[in-house]
């Protein structure tokens, strides 16, 4: 009898594919199967610029000639010679010039002897491009080296360079007196990198002796030595603040250091632009100004401490106390009428006579509140001027804006009123609301009289921005302006160890430095590192590269990583961490956590303890055999994240063979090889004509009938949920000696006496759960057998992968207090007693596994598919919901319609959505946008169970989200599309809507987070256009 989890047999691969080592723990392999049309190879060479007249090769190194194929790969050989050396048994400490020369010579010779090396070198003698050339190869691999793993290549090169530098004796030959001039004369071998005069910032960056970076400042010079180093880092250690687990270390003054006089300080040339200078690129900030006069005047007595502490107002404006006081006050430097912040937002306005609603108003209180009068939502310009928010809209009369010179002022939100309150409306999509008394405007509308002139009641404004980090910035600045106080300490929770630490913030500390991301991470590492389990639970994943240490704000089962340390303008967000203090929903604050940031999992653990790695994805050219006419249809199949995509060969975007640069790679810009490969996969999904879930494939077999059968009738296969776990799924494929004798293609077919049998031996079939049979014909029997072996492994893995994900999601929902477990768990001990349904646990539970729903591959663009899943969607606010496969790629959402008995789910070409100018709304905010009568807030939740075992019982609005968008050109824009993208849509332009319904609340939350992250990246990739959109439209002059 077969075991519950049958382990598949090993896949037979060619020797060329066996030498590759997997060094990146979160990367996944990809294999191109079979030969490639020579015309496609020619087109690839033209697109990537491999021409004899080109003088710049694909790794960006110039050359006087490009004749010969040896030079076309010399760059990749030079860049990856060290990795090749280590992969073949070498040691880093043995790496020197002679070892490098030998490794490069061996790589060049192996390339000449390889299959693709011979093909590319001999193509100039060929006069036809109608044949098939080459064989299977691993994408991104060159002679067994993973050239896509650029992080490892860089670390190895840096390590080798630093080791070779350490072997050289560096002596300082001359040190000039600091009182006159400060510079260092380096050894002769480095003199070419130094300027002849005083050091400049550019000189310091190219000096091999200077490894201190741009954050270094001059330190005081010791009087006991004239050869002390002149530069040191500004701050190597984290700011020492007291915590519950570690006390503040004592500071021992160094008595050997001398203080420099003002004249000596002024004589020292600055090695880098001052970080506090108003001309710094970091933006203008509050700094401390000093008088040009000497402060060490012996004739003046020091000011008493009591007088210093009693200073207020303008008396402390130019002191360190004044700088600390205004560190968070964004409006302190603005005069009346100055615009502090402005943005385009979706705004929904409502009015209530009940003034008691101004206490912790959010989407849950909004759901239960009665007698609210709603205004329809719309896009407005929201401008913050000193102590009020001004909300502008387009005039209804055409041309009135041009005549008056500004937008129509629709609403005013007073910030100085004691009745004005700020609340977080929804943590899921970062919408916030302001409750305030009605305030009249200059041009009141009769339909809005209750919002402007009512003497009692409150107005409720709900704001939704496109950018999530921009919404956090708005909340942070408004929270500080309206009296938000920095607490004396912050708590950092560690879910992996189920512990927490408290970081004190004293009055003497620079708050922004204390709560900076780097300082908190280093403090936590030093403090929690003393615990017993830290090394095993945290440091081991960090050491093998499977995770990184990150900070995140969490509220219940919703997670928000601290990942953007610059705002949408490119300026530093010093409050990136501490801004989470303003995220309080329903009076419950979010909590700061230090977590392991995992990437998309590439392995699973079965119940019996088996560790199963993700098999490499595959792609290649095939012919689909139509069952009725027996005709061939050229097809390109590619697998991404457990989905089998079908493309037309003309739009296949195949990978470049070893020796040619990948499609889309440009050495003149900042794109990397991995980014080019991810972009290639995204283009394949945009061009796909259809898709099929690998879970719908119940068997992969070799064709056994000359005439294809359109359907199969195997009930045990179609109904058994664990068919891939049985030995029958892995039945040995029929192989014979004739498989190796067939050379493939038209040449092999011309020599075959029985052509029908040869076509059958070259074919394999997919048995679908719907009962259909799909037959594909490969180039040769060997290629067909490789497709069968690799497809079987992928089908088995991805079906298990989805089951594991569903089980983890249900565990998180139950542990996080979302809802109870619907199906009782069976306990094998005792009398096999079935326990009653478990009650939801504490919402403040550690939940260390929630990071799998919010993985870092989405933020780092590690995969072509950022997120995918089956959802229900309808176009517009009306109509029937349809079942679709929704796939999120770079800047786009692609939909594939799922038919009940279709063998291929076709792409809905007109339903592809560009995320440019898109908003994502969820929950009650989205439900109120539906037509009247379609949403019933009093409806009871319904328990549901799905194919992969997922069980859920959530409210209807907890599974809804809406995307409001403007139609844009689909595809990845280049310079030719810049003019179209630069157009600013008017505020009053109608937006299209797509309503989505997920299977569970957790699934909805992760989808909203993923969409908002991708919109954030789109905004930051088009900063110029977004600035134009943000500043479009004139305001009333004051």
pLDDT digits (tens, 9 = 90+) for 39-84: 888 776 666 554 444 444 444 333 333 344 455 577 778 888 888 8
* 306 has a pLDDT exceeding 50: no
pLDDT at residue 80 in the model: 81
What integer best gives the mean pLDDT of the chain?
Answer: 75
Q: CB under 8 Å to 743, separation ≥6 — which residues?
A: 751, 780
Q: CB under 8 Å to 401, separation ≥6 — which residues?
A: 394, 395, 407, 408, 1034
- Six-digit token string for 675: 């980014």
- Six-digit token string for 25: 């723990």
Helix, strand, or coil (residue 1008): helix
Distance CA 967, CA 969 (A): 7
pLDDT at residue 74 in the model: 78
Strands across the sheet with 489-494, in order? 499-504, 489-494, 591-598, 547-555, 558-561
Q: What is the pTM for the complete model shown? A: 0.80
Q: Which of 879, 959, 623 is nearest to 774 (CA)?
A: 623
Cβ 922 vs Cβ 1008: under 8 Å:
yes
pLDDT at residue 641 in the model: 93
User: Is the model more confident about 532 or about 316?
Assistant: 532
Q: End-to-end CA distance of the chain, in Å? A: 84
* 169 has a pLDDT exceeding 80: no
Distance CA 269, CA 271 (A): 6
- Taking residues 547-574, report their average pLDDT: 92
Backbone phi, psi, residue 227, to 5°: -115, 20
Sign of the Cα torsion 308, 311, 314, 316 reads positive
H or E stretch covering 155: helix 150-166
The DSSP letter of residue 826 is: B
Within a 13 Å sphere around the CA of 658, how many CA atoms are in the beta-carbon half?
Answer: 30
pLDDT digits (tens, 9 = 90+) for 456-466: 788 899 999 99
Q: Which of 392, 424, 386 is nearest to 407 (CA)?
A: 392
pLDDT digits (tens, 9 = 90+) for 672-729: 788 889 999 999 999 999 999 999 999 999 998 888 888 887 655 544 455 555 555 6
pLDDT at residue 181 in the model: 38
Helix, strand, or coil (residue 449): helix
pLDDT digits (tens, 9 = 90+) for 410-453: 899 999 999 999 999 999 999 999 998 888 886 555 555 556 65
Residue 740 confidence class, pLDDT cut points 50, 70, 90: confident
* 618 has a pLDDT exceeding 90: yes
Cβ-in-10-Å burial (0-12, 13-18, 19+) of 217 comes to middle
855-1031 sits in which CATH class? mainly beta
Residue 731 confidence class, pLDDT cut points 50, 70, 90: low
Cβ 511 vs Cβ 327: under 8 Å:
yes
Distance CA 899, CA 883 (A): 8
**In 562-599, where do the E strands start and end?**
584-585, 588-589, 591-598
Instruction: Name the least confident of 37-46, 79-88, 96-105.
Output: 37-46
Instruction: Name the least confident of 139-143, 257-261, 906-910.
Output: 257-261
pLDDT at residue 144 in the model: 84
CA distances from 1005 to 804, 915, 940 (A): 19, 18, 20
Q: What is the 3-state secondary structure (H, E, C) of 302-330?
A: CCCHHHHHCCCHHHHCCCHHHHHHCCCCC
pLDDT at residue 610 in the model: 85
- Taking residues 844-852, report their average pLDDT: 81
Residue 623 confidence class, pLDDT cut points 50, 70, 90: very high
Angle between the 1023-1031 and 1001-1021 helix axes, to the nearest 10 degrees?
A: 90
Give me the DSSP letters along 233-302: ES--SPP---BSSSPPPPPPP-TTB-PPPHHHHHHSPPSS--TT-TTSTT---------SS-S--TTSPP
CA distances from 329 to 283, 390, 478, 831 (A): 15, 20, 10, 66
Topology annotation, domain 339-481: PH-domain like (2.30.29)
pLDDT at residue 779 in the model: 93
Q: Considering all CA atoms of the chain, what is the largest pairwise distance in Å, rounded to the nearest integer?
A: 113
* 667 has a pLDDT exceeding 60: no
Q: How many C-beta neighbours within 10 Å does residue 827 have?
A: 11
Q: Where in the chain is the domain with CATH 2.30.29.30?
A: 339-481, 855-1031
Cβ 749 vs Cβ 757: under 8 Å:
no
Cβ 72 vs Cβ 123: under 8 Å:
no
Within a 13 Å sphere around the CA of 562, how many CA atoms are in the beta-carbon half?
Answer: 29
User: Is the model more confident about 484 or about 42?
Assistant: 484
* 670 has a pLDDT exceeding 50: no
Cβ 766 vs Cβ 700: under 8 Å:
yes
- Taking residues 657-663, report their average pLDDT: 78
pLDDT at residue 469 in the model: 95
pLDDT at residue 329 in the model: 54
Instruction: Give percent above pLDDT 90 in the chain.
Output: 33
Q: Which of 1031, 1036, 1032, 921 is nearest to 569 (CA)?
A: 1031
Instruction: Name the least confident of 273-287, 385-399, 1002-1016.
Output: 273-287
Instruction: Name the least confident of 334-343, 871-880, 1004-1013.
Output: 334-343
Residue 737 confidence class, pLDDT cut points 50, 70, 90: confident
- Taking residues 311-326, report their average pLDDT: 44
Distance CA 316, CA 296 (A): 20
Backbone phi, psi, residue 556, to 5°: 55, -115
H or E stretch covering 1004: helix 1001-1021
């Amino acid at each position: 009898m077969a075991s519950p989890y049958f382990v598949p047999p090993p896949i037979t691969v060619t020797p060329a594919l066996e030498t590759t080592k997997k060094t990146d723990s979160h990367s996944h392999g990809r294999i191109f199967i079979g030969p490639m049309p020579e015309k496609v190879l020619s087109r690839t060479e033209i697109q990537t610029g491999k021409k004899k007249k080109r003088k710049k090769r694909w790794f960006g190194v110039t050359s006087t000639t490009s004749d010969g194929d040896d030079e076309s790969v010399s760059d990749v050989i030079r860049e990856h010679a060290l990795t090749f050396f280590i992969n073949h048994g070498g040691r880093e400490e043995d790496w020197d010039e002679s070892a490098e020369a030998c490794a490069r010579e061996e790589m060049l010779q192996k390339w000449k002897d390889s299959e693709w090396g011979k093909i590319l070198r001999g193509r100039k003698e060929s006069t036809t491009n109608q044949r098939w050339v080459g064989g299977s190869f691993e994408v991104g691999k060159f002679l067994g080296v993973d050239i896509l793993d650029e992080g490892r290549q860089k670390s190895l090169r840096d390590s080798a360079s630093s080791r070779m530098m350490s072997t050289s004796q560096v002596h300082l030959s001359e040190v000039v007196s600091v009182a006159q001039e400060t510079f260092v004369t380096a050894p002769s071998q480095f003199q070419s990198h130094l300027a002849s005069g005083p050091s400049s910032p550019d000189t310091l960056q190219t000096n091999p002796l200077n490894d201190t970076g741009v954050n270094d400042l001059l330190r005081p010079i010791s009087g006991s030595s004239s050869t002390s180093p002149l530069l040191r880092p500004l701050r190597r250690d984290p700011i020492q603040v007291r915590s519950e687990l570690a006390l503040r270390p004592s500071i021992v003054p160094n008595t050997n250091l001398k203080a420099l006089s003002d004249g000596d300080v002024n004589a020292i040339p600055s090695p880098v632009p001052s970080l506090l200078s108003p001309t710094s690129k970091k933006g203008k900030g509050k700094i401390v100004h000093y008088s040009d006069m000497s402060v060490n005047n012996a004739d003046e007595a020091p000011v008493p401490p009591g007088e210093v502490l009693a200073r207020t107002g303008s008396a402390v404006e130019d002191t360190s106390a004044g700088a600390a006081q205004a560190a968070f006050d964004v409006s302190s430097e603005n005069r009346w009428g100055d615009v502090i912040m402005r943005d385009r937002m979706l705004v929904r306005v409502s009015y209530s006579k009940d003034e008691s609603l101004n206490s912790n108003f959010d989407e849950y209180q909004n759901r239960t509140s009665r007698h609210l009068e709603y205004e329809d939502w719309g896009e407005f310009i929201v401008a913050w001027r000193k102590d009020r928010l001004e909300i502008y809209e387009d005039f209804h009369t055409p041309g009135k804006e041009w005549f008056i010179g500004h937008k129509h002022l629709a609403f005013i939100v007073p910030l100085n009123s004691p009745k004005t309150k700020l609340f977080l409306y929804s943590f899921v999509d970062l919408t916030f609301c302001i409750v305030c008394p009605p305030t009249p405007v200059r041009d009141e509308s009769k339909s809005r009289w209750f919002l402007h002139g009512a003497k009692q009641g409150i107005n409720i404004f709900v704001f939704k921005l496109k950018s999530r980090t921009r919404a956090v910035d708005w909340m942070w600045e408004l929270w500080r302006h309206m009296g938000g106080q920095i607490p004396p300490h912050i708590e950092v929770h560690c879910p992996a160890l189920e512990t927490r630490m408290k970081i004190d913030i004293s009055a003497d500390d620079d708050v922004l430095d204390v709560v900076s991301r780097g300082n908190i991470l280093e403090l936590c590492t030093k403090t929690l590192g003393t615990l017993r389990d830290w090394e095993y639970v945290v440091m081991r994943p960090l050491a093998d590269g499977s995770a990184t240490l990150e900070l995140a704000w969490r509220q219940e089962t919703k997670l928000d990583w601290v990942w953007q340390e610059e705002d949408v303008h490119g300026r530093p967000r010093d409050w990136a961490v501490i801004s989470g203090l303003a995220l309080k929903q329903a009076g419950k604050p979010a909590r700061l956590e230090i977590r392991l940031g995992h990437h998309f999992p590439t392995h699973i653990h079965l119940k019996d303890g088996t560790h199963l790695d993700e098999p490499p994805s595959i792609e290649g050219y095939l012919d689909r055999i139509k069952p009725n006419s027996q005709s061939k249809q050229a097809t390109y199949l590619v697998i991404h994240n457990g989905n089998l995509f079908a493309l037309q060969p003309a739009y296949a975007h195949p990978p470049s063979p070893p020796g040619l640069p990948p499609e889309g790679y440009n050495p003149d810009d900042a794109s990397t090889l991995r980014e080019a490969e991810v972009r290639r996969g995204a283009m394949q999904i945009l061009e796909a004509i259809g898709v099929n879930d690998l879970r719908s494939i119940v068997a992969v077999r070799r064709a056994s009938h000359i005439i294809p059968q359109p359907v199969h009738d195997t009930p045990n296969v179609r109904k058994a949920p664990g068919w891939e776990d049985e030995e029958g799924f892995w039945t040995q494929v029929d192989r014979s000696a004739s498989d190796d004798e067939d050379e493939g293609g038209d040449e092999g077919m011309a020599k075959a006496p029985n052509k029908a049998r040869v076509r059958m031996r070259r074919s394999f079939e997919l048995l679908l759960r719907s009962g259909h049979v799909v037959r594909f014909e490969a180039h040769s029997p060997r290629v067909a057998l490789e497709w069968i072996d690799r497809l079987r492994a992928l089908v088995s893995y991805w079906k298990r992968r989805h089951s594991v994900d569903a089980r983890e999601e249900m565990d998180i929902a139950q542990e996080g207090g979302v809802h109870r477990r619907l199906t009782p768990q069976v306990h094998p001990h005792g009398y096999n007693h079935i326990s009653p349904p478990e009650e939801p646990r504490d919402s403040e539970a550690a939940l260390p596994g929630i990071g799998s729903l919010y993985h870092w591959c989405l933020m780092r663009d590690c995969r072509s598919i950022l997120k995918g899943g089956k959802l229900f969607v309808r176009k517009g606010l009306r109509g029937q919901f349809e079942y679709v496969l929704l796939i999120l790629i770079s800047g786009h959402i692609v939909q594939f319609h799922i038919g009940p008995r279709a063998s291929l789910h076709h792409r809905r070409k007109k339903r592809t959505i560009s995320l440019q100018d898109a908003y994502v709304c969820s929950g009650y905010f989205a439900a109120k946008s539906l037509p009247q009568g379609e949403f019933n807030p009093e409806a009871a939740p319904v328990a549901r169970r799905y194919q992969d075992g997922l069980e859920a019982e959530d409210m209807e609005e907890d599974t809804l989200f809406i995307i409001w968008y403007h139609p844009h050109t689909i595809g990845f824009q280049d310079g030719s599309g810049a003019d179209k993208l630069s157009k600013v849509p008017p505020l009053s332009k109608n937006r299209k809507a797509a309503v989505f319904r997920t299977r569970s609340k957790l699934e909805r939350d992760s989808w909203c987070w993923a969409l908002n992250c991708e919109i954030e990246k789109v905004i930051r990739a088009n900063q110029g256009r977004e600035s134009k959109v943000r500043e479009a439209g004139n305001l009333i002059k004051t």
